[in-house]
Chains A and B, each alone.
Chain A
Amino acid sequence: KAGVTQTPRYLIKTRGQQVTLSCSPISGHRSVSWYQQTPGQGLQFLFEYFSETQRNKGNFPGRFSGRQFSNSRSEMNVSTLELGDSALYLCASSLNRGPAETQYFGPGTRLLVL
């Protein structure tokens, strides 16, 4: 079974632009969570989607948004990019939504904002 895939793998943008990242979960997985990894803040939870609805949100500004489609694929969008948004963005999928779900991570998208 194929793992979690993320596109694009690398991205360079300039301040003020917006960006859309894509995540395809493992086949049959219905929950997708997004994380941001930076050297200063480490790995931080962004949000989680299940059944096309955002179910959980981390402490990030409204410039960060996402959505999930009926096939469970998810996108996240960052508008009005800032230098501090440079990071590795990781997507994780789980079979379902619950207290004991194992999360499986994709390879990530490295975003550089100039």
Chain B
Amino acid sequence: GIQVEQSPPDLILQEGANSTLRCNFSDSVNNLQWFHQNPWGQLINLFYIPSGTKQNGRLSATTVATERYSLLYISSSQTTDSGVYFCAVAPFSGGYNKLIFGAGTRLAVHP
């Protein structure tokens, strides 16, 4: 089945720093979402981005489908950005409404 690899696994930042999270996937996908999991376990949708670039405030994401990777950019990080960031994909061959998740990037932002 499809493999989803996220890097780095852990990231520690000072407040105000910028960061880039990467997601590599091993097969063609028709769905790619980025999520932020807060300390209470809730998965919060950040982007639906199977291809192209999107921006939402201090966050932006780019997916290059032909090269099978996606990047999540966090600028001017805040302590509230702390948590785990997941990339999840739905491969063409995997059936509908079934997301395959990466292992996540654990981000800690210190004041």
Contacts and interface: CB of A to CB of B under 8 A. Distances in A.
Interface of A: 31, 33, 35, 37, 42-45, 48, 50, 55-56, 58, 88, 90, 92, 94, 97-108, 110
Interface of B: 30-31, 33, 35, 40-45, 48, 50, 86, 88, 90, 92, 95-104
Contacts of A100: 30-31, 50
24 contacts: A31-B96, A33-B97, A33-B98, A42-B102, A42-B104, A43-B86, A44-B101, A45-B100, A48-B96, A50-B97, A55-B95, A56-B95, A56-B96, A58-B98, A90-B41, A94-B97, A99-B90, A99-B96, A100-B31, A102-B45, A102-B48, A104-B45, A105-B35, A107-B40
A31 B96 CA distance: 10
